[in-house]
Structure 1
Amino acid sequence: MPEPVEFSLIIPAHNEESVIARCLKTALSGAPDPPGFEIIVAANGCSDRTAEIARNVMPAAQILEIPEGSKTGAINVANRAASHFPRIYLDADVECEYGSLAALARTLKGPEIMTAAPAIRLDLEHCNALVKAYYSAWMQQPFAKAGKGGAGCYGLSQAALEAVGEFPQIIGDDIWIHTRFPDEQKRMVAQDELGRPVFSIVRPPRTAWQQIKVEARRMIGNAEVKRNYPSPYVSLANKGGGVLGSLRSGASPIDLLVFYAIKMMVRIETRLAKSRGSGVEWTRDLTSRQDG
């Protein structure tokens, strides 16, 4: 039985009735009894059964029902309710077992470490061929290999949260956090101290069109952070290495062709979204939340 580790797990959730049970059950998988950490589900702007399901699955968790639909607003409310450090933030459609969460928490208790994220495991089983090709090339990019920004799961030390304060009303909370600190204060945790794998499971959109919509939202969010919250710290997220770098990375030419074609469509969709005045809307992928 693993030793309990003290931390607060915060799960912002907006209309996540199809995935919240899976997220919570996975977080407790392998945990000691009692688990030693607190779970806060910040159900924000929900019109479905997210809060009800969360209570039924995990009666010991704090379930906050927040009228406004805002991820960063929900994070702020949950931070005020939380009682432990470090803080780990987990998207409701992402899975991360206790062993990985505890490894992040232990890492964040180390000196001079502000943020940490687990390695990413992509579940592409139900994705179409274009999405699989896109992510085959994506995983070879420098920013994906570095993994320090997280993909739906990241943690902050007490010092980090004290430094950043409240989260602003933005789309890209992860890129905002990623650009608050120098690279040497970030960690991507792929193994714990015993060599066991540390990871979160991410399910990308199943279709290329949904991937384009989600990437466009991410691009708009990144631009918002760069414009309104400039940072002196250079992020690997801005260093793709170009076409030649991608070819040297080992990605196949066909996968790269799909990758750059989707990226081009993302730029077009971003411009269209801005022209429609919908540049700050939250684009939600429902395909990855389907069963089977």
Structure 2
Amino acid sequence: MLETAPFTVIIPAHNEEAVIARCLKNIFDQAPPGALQVIVAANGCTDRTVEIAREAAPEALVLDLPVGSKTAAINAANLRADHFPRIYVDADVECGYHTLVALAEALAEPGVMTAAPAIRMDLSRCNFLMKAYYRAWSLQPYARAGKGGAGCYGLSAAALAAVGEFPPIIGDDIWIHTRFPDEQKRFLARDRHGQPVFSVVYPPRTAREQVRVEARRQNGNAEVKRLYPSPYFANANNGGGLSAALRSGAGPIDLLIFFAIKFAARTLARWNRQRGRGSTWTRDLSTREA
């Protein structure tokens, strides 16, 4: 049985009734009683997220917050959290107890501020365009380095003391990963026993949804870069540009689709900024169908 000191898991959730039970089930499976504290920070929900979360995990603390804001929800949960490290998990991601323990152990190491697991993309319900896109994506330098965004990251007590409250931004993950140098981060593919460490991410099913989500990500990155500059920004999601993508080994058709979606997302991101919607949260509804 895995043993570690208790830690806290925080799940921000806005209208996640279709996926919150799945998220909680994966976290609590194989978890001994009292091994971790789980806080569901439901925010601005107009569906059954709160009710389903309380039914699915009676041992979790479920906050019913009136304002729909991911970062405000994280701040509220941090005030109620009892343990360190803190691990933040998106509600639409699957992250098992074993992975959470591995992150907690890494964050207990001296000098480690953040930790994130490897990513497993579940493409089973994606169309052929999205499968081609993610075949190319998986070969890019940032994806191979574990910097592609796993929907899960952890902070040590020292890290949270350093960053303080989360600001009102849409890119909380890029904000966190640009606060610290690479030597203070851990991207885990295996634990100290050699067992796989990962989160399961469900990407958009269609190119249209991918363009919308990617445009939000690009605007979130730009917002953090503008409002919270950091010398570590270049290392947080460094893909090496066009030349690195062409050298990645991806097939020509996959690369064509990959670049087309990236270009469309960049165009939409610029259009949203021009309309004053650059900081508007956009979510992928295709992965949140019951």
TM range, normalised to the smaller chain? over 0.9
Counterpart position of 1:97:
96
Deviations 1:174-213 (A, max 9, x none): 0000100001001101111111100000000000000000
Which runs of structure 2 are paired with 1:5-16 in the superposition (5 Å)? 5-16=5-16
Counterpart position of 2:2:
2
Deviates more, 1:179-188 or 1:273-282: 273-282
Alignment partners' CA distance in 2, 1:257 and 1:225: 29
Alignment partners' CA distance in 2, 1:258 and 1:210: 14
Alignment partners' CA distance in 2, 1:102 and 1:209: 36
* Contact 2:147–2:236 under 8 Å retained in 1: no
Deviates more, 1:282-291 or 1:174-183: 282-291
Using the TM superposition, give the Cα deviation of residue 24 of structure 1 relative to its aligned residue in structure 2, in angstroms. Answer: 0.1
What stretches of structure 1 of length at least 5 have no aligned partner?
A: none
* Contact 1:146–1:236 under 8 Å retained in 2: no
TM-score with structure 1 length normalisation? 0.96
Counterpart position of 2:111:
112
Counterpart position of 1:139:
138
Counterpart position of 2:185:
186
Using the TM superposition, give the Cα deviation of residue 237 of structure 1 relative to its aligned residue in structure 2, in angstroms. Answer: 4.4
* Contact 1:18–1:289 under 8 Å retained in 2: yes
Counterpart position of 2:250:
251
Counterpart position of 2:56:
57
Q: Aligned pair in 2 of structure 1 residues 157, 84: CA closer, same or farther (>3 Å)?
A: same
Alignment partners' CA distance in 1, 2:94 and 2:186: 19
Which runs of structure 2 are paired with 1:162-173 in the superposition (5 Å)? 162-173=161-172
SS in 2 for 1:200: strand
The size of the alignment, in residue pairs, is 290
Deviations 1:59-103 (A, max 9, x none): 111111111100000000000100100000000000100000000
Counterpart position of 2:86:
87
Alignment partners' CA distance in 2, 1:274 and 1:244: 28
SS in 1 for 2:77: helix
1:27 partnered with 2:31: no
Q: Which amino acid aligns with 2:27?
A: A
CA RMSD of aligned residues (A): 1.2
Alignment partners' CA distance in 1, 2:175 and 2:274: 24
Using the TM superposition, give the Cα deviation of residue 151 of structure 1 relative to its aligned residue in structure 2, in angstroms. Answer: 2.2
* Contact 1:142–1:236 under 8 Å retained in 2: no
SS in 2 for 1:65: strand
